[in-house]
Chain A
Amino acid sequence: MNVVQVKNIEKIYGSKNEKHYKALSDIDFEVENGEFVGIMGASGSGKTTLLNILSTLDKPTSGEVTINGKDVTKLKGNQMADFRAHEVGFIFQDFNLLENLTAYENIALPLSLQGRKSSDISEAVNKIAKKLGLEEILDHYPTELSGGQKQRVASARALVHEPAILFGDEPTGALDSKSARALLETMEKINREDDVSILLVTHDPFSASYCSRILFIKDGKIDQEIKRGASSRSEFYQEILDSLGTFAE
């Protein structure tokens, strides 16, 4: 089963009287249930535009995006918000934690939005906190946490409501190498153990090497696709570097 299905999407910026700029064209791909897919590309290649469209933050000019069986391009207003609240989890580069809420409250937020009972909320938050090793810092405010801890809290928030898919937008971008590695290992683990589908947007080959498949975007089009298959992570890393070498030409 495909959790994400993208058909022929195109995104053009600029209104009638302005100069048009084609950010995306002919994008076609799918993500299978439980797959860990990476999207790579240089700055300005259209990665973020694509992610915004997938997560309903932006609409394509034409084409179709189906997530968990729903055509998200047809959603309107509150439907769009509700869709994000239920089906999607986000991890951003700059964590995007609310600094006036404790770690616990940040993680609990998506469940509060769904109107869950406070006892259910507490159970779910504690469960995910245990999995991500956050039990000790649940009462802390984000300003009292390190970058790595913040990103783990953000991951917990993205996963607590068991979304259909987890979107990561350069989640390791603001982390030191040790924290980055720990986060990626966690993502790999939840992907493997809990069958969570993940779509990771990055330009960092190391982060990408944790994925099972990588799509390369160049000038708004999918240029190349490679699969990890049975090779080890370091072999796959080398393969990515090789692809980037040819890709840049």
Chain B
Amino acid sequence: MLNKLALSGIKNRLRDYSVLFSGLMISAAIFYMFMSLATNKDFLVKNSPSSVTSVIFGFGIVLLAIITLVYIVYANGFLLSMRQREYGMFMMLGARGSKISRMIFVETLVIGTISTLVGTLIGVGLTQVLSGWLIDTLNMQIKHFNAFYLPAVIYTLLFFVVIFAIAAMRNGISLRRTNVLKLLNSEKQPTRIKKVGLGKLIQAIIGVVSLGIGYYAMLHLAQGVYLYLATAVIGITLGTYLVINSLFSWIIKVLKSNKKYSMKKLNNFTLSQLGFRITDYTRILSVVAMLFALALGAITTGVGFKGLITKTTDSNNYYDAVVHDMNATQRKNVSKIDVKSQATYEYKTLKGGKTVVFNQDQFKQHNLKVKDYSKSINNVDSKVKYLNYNFSTKEQIENIQLTELWDQLPGAFEDLQAKVVSGDEYAKINAKSSTLTMIKSKDFYKNISAIKKVALYDAAHHYSSPFGQKYQNYQLASGIFSGLEFMGMFLGIAFLAMLASCLMFKILSGAASDVKRYEMMRKMGVRDGWLSQSIKKEIAVLFLIPGILGVIHVLVGLKMFGPLLPHPYEGIFYPFTGFFILYLMYYVITTMLYQRIVLKK
């Protein structure tokens, strides 16, 4: 009978339970997604050129475990608060404490297990879809990656079930210890407002100092990975928590004490709502700040690696494709490319095959682009400059072996000699002639599929240079960096999903208890528009706090990628902007959902 009642209790609060379930499922799914990369040694080794990767993943596992733990503790608290009144009523009607605590134990465990199982399944599905999408759209080459990876499944289930078992036991014990009247009136229990005082100032100082220590450790990982890693995790987590807990309460206090500002319309109400929430939200906001940093950091480095692929490719070759002895098929293939410029050079191979002769008139007509080796030292570091060669000077003729044209000549690397002669002289030479067509498209990456066709046909039918064409070089770079790019993007998106679910979960799970407060304000004659403004401001601050801290974490943390990315800060504008747009969307959705609950007509 009691079980039946308990079940019907769940039915009555289906909306709250669906918030709870979806939150837990997402956290299990994200945990699995991370594990599917982090525990796949083959994948990590084959796709990453540096040993730093596994250290960074180790860092990630620890952080994610802490975050998931906090999340589950929260969800569990939410579950308990939903059930207290009902279980209190059963006890008032004479149900035994032991029976009730067994019921909440079973309920917690069942909810935990179901959401973990479903969440893991969703995780496998999401991994499949997301990895497929990333590999397709970003043209990646990923080796040894499976959406379903058994060890990751096992770790995820184990981690969650153990935590839920502990949570279930805690719930059982805490229900039995609380007295019936308190349970019955649980929703009426007032929240104590903590006064801001000297304690908060000390907290703020300790917070900033721990952040400093954490940052320092993160930037000096090389000096002792495990010790510094542990210090970084503890320092940054603790620092984030303390800073949110103290600094923001203090700012609110300062704003409130400015009566001119605070006594205007709903300002004081909004500030108090915030002050009230920050006490209650500190843990979740710290978690969100960490997730924000992880997500933004991962996406930024992912984009950084993507940039490295194009940079390496672009600095290797000027010409997007080279065609040996153009024929009808290749002409058709080339016509699909959006060509910016195209030049065909003829050459004659003298007897013995040791010397090739070019016609200078052709170079005068179309200068050959040649990399300026006097300027560019490192392919990735500096922008490559190109010079226009017409082979009128001795120096240029001597440099012919450094050109992309030369790379494509059969036997170029077996003491082949070059001559450039005038048009008249060239015409007099009686030898077999061949042509090389050098093609520059308007945009290599937009034309990549057409260029691929041309390059592959050429390689299959003609001399294939050991230096390759641009397409082959692109393949090579992408092989090296795709793995890292994939890890960054994949994890970034996963963390972003978890972040959204965390913040939304917390804000929406508290909405029910806010309904009365807004109802009261309306009765007092507050316009709906003002209430909605107040809500927007309040939630905006709740989004901004972790946002600001997260950005600072990322800006410092990016330096950690020094060994992998030569310029970790370059081009961070795009991932940052994209990320903020997504974050803004979460904000808008959360505000809308929240308003729909608390400002019901």
Interface residues of A (CB under 8 A from B): 55, 57, 77-78, 81-86, 88, 90, 96, 98-101, 105, 108-113, 115-116, 118, 121-122, 141-143
Contacts and interface: CB of A to CB of B under 8 A. Distances in A.
A116 B263 CA distance: 8
A88 B524 CA distance: 8
A91 B264 CA distance: 23
A118 B190 CA distance: 29
B550 interface: no
Interface of B: 190-193, 259-260, 263-269, 272-273, 275-276, 517, 520-530
Given A100-B273, A101-B268, A113 B525 contact: yes
Contacts of A101: 268-269, 272
Contacts of B267: 112
B167 to A, nearest CB: 29
> Which A-B residue pairs are the 5 nearest by beta carbons?
A85-B525, A84-B525, A143-B190, A100-B276, A118-B259
Contacts, number: 82
A100 B263 contact: no
Contacts of B192: 143
Given A101-B269, A118-B263, 20 more contacts: A77-B527, A78-B529, A81-B528, A82-B527, A85-B525, A90-B523, A98-B272, A99-B191, A100-B276, A108-B268, A109-B269, A110-B525, A113-B526, A115-B264, A115-B265, A118-B259, A118-B264, A121-B263, A122-B259, A142-B190
Contacts of A118: 259-260, 263-264
B524 A112 contact: no
A84 B524 contact: yes
A111 B265 CA distance: 8
B321 to A, nearest CB: 66
Among B268, B525, B528: residue with most chain A CB under 10 A: B525
B57 to A, nearest CB: 43
Contact of B263 (A57, A82, A112): A112
A115 B267 CA distance: 11
Given A100-B193, A143-B190, A112 B523 contact: no
A98 B268 CA distance: 11
A85 B263 contact: no
B269 A98 contact: yes
B269 A81 contact: no
Contact of B527 (A81, A112, A122): A81
What DSSP secondary structure best describes chain A's contact surface? helix
A100 B177 CA distance: 29
A58 to B, nearest CB: 11
Given A99-B190, A118-B260, A118-B263, A81 B276 contact: no
Nearest to A99: B190
Given A99-B191, A100-B193, A143-B190, A105 B526 contact: no
Given A100-B275, A109-B269, A143-B190, A90 B263 contact: no
Contacts of A86: 525
Given A85-B524, A85-B525, A88-B525, A109 B268 contact: yes
Nearest to A83: B525
A36 to B, nearest CB: 22
Contacts of B275: 100
B77 to A, nearest CB: 20
A98 B193 CA distance: 12
A119 to B, nearest CB: 8
A112 B521 CA distance: 12
Contacts of A112: 263-268
Contact of B524 (A77, A109, A142): A109
10 contacts: A84-B523, A84-B525, A86-B525, A90-B524, A99-B190, A110-B524, A113-B530, A115-B264, A121-B259, A141-B193
A105 B525 contact: no
A115 to B, nearest CB: 7
A149 to B, nearest CB: 14
Contacts of B520: 96, 98
Contacts of B191: 99-100, 143
Contacts of A99: 190-191, 193
Contacts of B263: 108, 111-112, 116, 118, 121
Among A109, A141, A142: residue with most chain B CB under 10 A: A109
A188 B489 CA distance: 70
A56 to B, nearest CB: 9
Contacts of A78: 527-529
A82 B524 CA distance: 9
A180 B522 CA distance: 26
Contacts of B530: 113
Contacts of B259: 118, 121-122
A115 B526 CA distance: 12
A130 to B, nearest CB: 19
B534 to A, nearest CB: 11
A105 B595 CA distance: 24
Contacts of B517: 98
B529 to A, nearest CB: 7
A128 to B, nearest CB: 16
Contacts of A122: 259
A77 B528 contact: yes
A174 to B, nearest CB: 12
Nearest to B531: A81
Nearest to A112: B263
A118 B276 CA distance: 23
Contacts of A111: 263
Given A98-B272, A112-B266, A82 B525 contact: yes
Given A78-B529, A118-B259, A141-B193, A96 B523 contact: yes
A122 B525 CA distance: 20
